[in-house]
Amino acid sequence: SDVAHIPDEECIGALTSLDRDRWAEAREMIIEADERNLSLIQEIENALFVLCLEDSEPVSRDDIARIMLHGDARNRWYDKSIEFIVCKDGTAGINYEHSSIDDSSVVTLTGFIYDHVPVEAGTEEGCLSSRELNFTLSPEIREKISLACRDFDDLAGNTFVRVLDFRHFGKDRIKTFRL
């Protein structure tokens, strides 16, 4: 993850990997810690999507699948409907929550991005600016974030991801079975 230099206890997005009740409780604690935190959370919640920049450079399709499926939680905001994930080497993908977005819409969006977004490395033309969101975090919140990171690492460590590249037959053959 691109946040390797940031201590776990400052990776606030990891809290969104918690179950909904624990995340809601932590969210309230963050808001109560400093009145400015509410506007920072609202900026994220009101955004159309989250862009996750990964320092990793995947070497296999399994690595890509793992990064796109869950990453390490430290630079994600799982409570967001759409996360665009871009690795250091340009490998990219989308992680999205299915209940709020129709799959065909995501396919259309992906096609549009593929057809219209320039792929030249280092171009800044048309790029929007960004800024760091600095939350005020109490020691209690920092501890919750650290625990969320550890819990997520345990969960991810118990998640086996393998890409099967099956080429023996495709949809035309399956159609002959009338499934």
Q: Are 13 and 77 a contacting pair, CB within 8 Å?
A: yes
CA 73 – CA 38 distance, rounded (Å)? 21
Residue 98 known to be catalytic: yes
Amino acid at 179: L
Alpha-carbon distance values, 36 to 15, 122, 154 (Å): 18, 34, 32
Q: Single out the catalytic residue among 5, 98, 116, 168.
A: 98
Task: Report whether 156 contacts 148 (CB < 8 A).
Answer: no
Q: CB under 8 Å to 101, separation ≥6 — which residues?
A: 81, 82
Contacts (Cβ under 8 Å, ≥6 apart) of 85: 52, 54, 67, 68, 71, 92, 93, 94, 95
Instruction: Catalogue the active-site residues.
Output: 98
